[in-house]
Structure 1
Amino acid sequence: MTDAPDPLLDGTHAVLTPEYVEFRFTLAGLYSRFLAWFFDALLVVALTLALLTALNLTLGAAFPGFASALGIVLYFLVDWGYGIALETFWSGQTVGKKLLGLRVIQRSGVRIGFYHAALRNLARPVDRLPLFYLVGGLSALLSGAQQRLGDMLAGTLVVRERRLKTPSAIGATGGEGLLADPLFVARVKRLGTEAREVVLSAVLRREELRMEARLRLFSALGTKLQELLAMEKPAHLSDEKWTLLVAAALLPRTA
């Protein structure tokens, strides 16, 4: 009989693409999420104290006690604003999550937006009840996907970032001449955020896929990229090498 997995340790979340290719994400455990929250909480307290000090210096003399009365309100505003702003504009990360190598994503595997960041952060007061995220921790233990109530509401997950290195052969596709074509590069740069993430994720994870799934994925991507870029794929390039070429155009050029 096999041991049951420890819910405090990392699990996995599988995402099946429309091409029936499966990508797996490692879920963040409660220990790492608590440490990330602890670092973020210290920053929120420091920011709140700094703002309160500034208020006391500017308003303290004219309105005694007024700045101090705003302390609790100001703390919640900073706390909510900190999480919502950073997770929206920093691709699902806060300073604490960055330090611990964690990221918030949608259940579909793509990055979150303002709507998701706002929902999961506005639900924090409930998750924190009665103290130290007891409600949130229990819901994460019971959910099967390590989701606190805010994550369930927003349809999000907290995952561990994988340290994937950019393959050295990413530009060695046989179509390097296109990388010097300003029209091709300009069209690639206009790709939307989701299209960019799909391309780069497929390129970085392609070695993990079985050959059949790999061929199916890049066939679909090759066709879609021709449509998005409004240009034909060079006849001598395979769908995978065409996608690699697009990914190379997305990455910063090195001297």
Structure 2
Amino acid sequence: MTDTPDTLLDGTHTVLTPEYVEFRFTLAGLYARFLAWLIDALIVSGITVGLVIALSMAGFALAGFASALGFVLYFLVDWGYGIALETAWSGQTVGKRVMGLRVIQQSGVRIGFYHAALRNLARPVDRLPFFYLVGGVTALLSGAHQRLGDMLAGTIVVRERRLKAPSALGGLGGEGLLADPLFVSRVKRLSAEARELVLSAALRREELRMEARLRLFSALGTKLQELLALEKPAHLSDEKWTLLVAAALLPSPGEKPGGTARAVA
């Protein structure tokens, strides 16, 4: 696979699955991360100023303590903002969403509250002595562009790319399984991690060597039968079975327009 200029500029992170299939993620560069942080900092500052004004009007801020109150509120809002949004939005804040970035675990899966809390609570150390100098230097020296908070939480920040749903998925409408309410309802109940794995495999399968592709879909086919508690029809290959699951996961035209899906790269 040929590296794109962005890949060469930002670096890559490779994850090897138990089936010995490699997935490559494009690491976010410091410039993109800085712009995302700047957007988030403006939002946090705006929320903090609003809270200080509201508390002052309510009589909770004593004269001479407004600066101290603002300082304390800024850190509380900053922590809460980062932890809450990265947990709810699977590794994104407003700034990261605007810049097309996402925080994921080094294993390639989405982060949860634990990881979001660790990386955000470490921000005061990364900010030392000013303007994220410690965090910036650490990210520059780290092969995975990790600041101290990322090292502590075992996370990395990667770029997202918008991939067009393969034509094979759009041509599966005639399959009886997609019209089976039991099959569709069980697919819709798959966990977020399972959905991500299925869609990622469907979107990236053309990038894999044939041996790795067969190994991956063989493992996925068996796992999906277990998760769905359904037998794979004998006439379907493991790859076609997985693609049908992916097609059932895609929104119908009435739910959301467009034939693209988000994927980290």
TM range (shorter): over 0.9
Moved over 3 A (4+): none
Gap change, CA 1:178 and 1:94, over 3 Å in 2: same
Partner residue in 1 for 2:228:
229
Secondary structure in structure 2 of the residue aligned to 1:59: coil
Q: CA RMSD in A?
A: 1.8
Describe the SS at the equivalent of 1:115.
Answer: helix
Aligned partner of 1:111 in structure 2 is 110
What residue identity is the alignment partner of 1:225? Answer: L
Alpha carbons 1:55, 1:67 under 8 Å: kept: no
| Higher alpha-carbon deviation: 242-251 or 13-22 | 242-251
- Alignment partner, residue 3 of structure 1: none
- CA deviation vs aligned residue, 1:94-134 (integer Å, no higher than 9, x gap): 11111111110000000000000000000000000011111
Q: Which stretch shifts more, 176-185 or 36-45? A: 176-185
2:96 corresponding residue in structure 1: 97
CA distance in 2, matches of 1:131, 1:200: 41
In 1: Cα distance, 2:223 partner to 2:171 partner: 21
Gaps of 5+ in 2: 1-7, 255-265
2:45–2:74 Cα contact (<8 Å) kept: yes
Structure 1 residue 175 displacement after superposition: 6.3
Alignment match, 1:212:
211
Deviation at 1:188, TM superposition (A): 0.9
The one-letter code sitting in structure 2 at the alignment partner of 1:120 is R
Deviation string for 1:216-249 (max 9, x for gaps)? 1001000110011111111111111100111111
Give the Cα separation in 2 of the matches to 1:66 and 1:240. Answer: 67
Choose 114-123 or 46-55, whichever is displaced more. 46-55
> Which residue of structure 1 aligns with residue 13 of structure 2?
13
3-state SS of 1:164 partner: strand
* Number of residue-to-residue matches in the alignment: 247
Aligned-partner Cα distance in 1 for 2:241–2:54: 55
Displacement of 1:176: 2.1
TM-score (norm 1): 0.92
Kept in 2: contact 1:171–1:244 (CA 8 A):
no
8 Å CA contact 1:189–1:250 kept in 2: the answer is yes
**Which amino acid is 1:48 matched to?**
T
TM-score between the two structures when normalised by the length of structure 2: 0.89
**Pair 1:52-2:48 in alignment:** no
Contact 1:59 1:67 in 2 (8 A): no
Question: SS of 1:50's equivalent?
Answer: helix
Task: Check the 8 A contact 1:171/1:245 in 2, yes or no.
Answer: no
Quote the residue 1:203 is aligned against: 202
Aligned pairs (5 A) from 1:168-187:
168-173=167-172, 176-187=175-186
Q: In structure 1, what residue type is equivalent to 2:145?
A: Q
CA deviation after TM superposition for structure 1 residue 66, in Å: 8.1
Distance in 2 of aligned mates of 1:204 and 1:180: 22
Partner of 1:30: 30
CA contact (8 A) 1:173 1:242 kept: no
Q: Deviations over 1:58-93 (max 9, x none)?
A: 225xx6438724211111110000100111111101
Shift of 1:171: 4.4
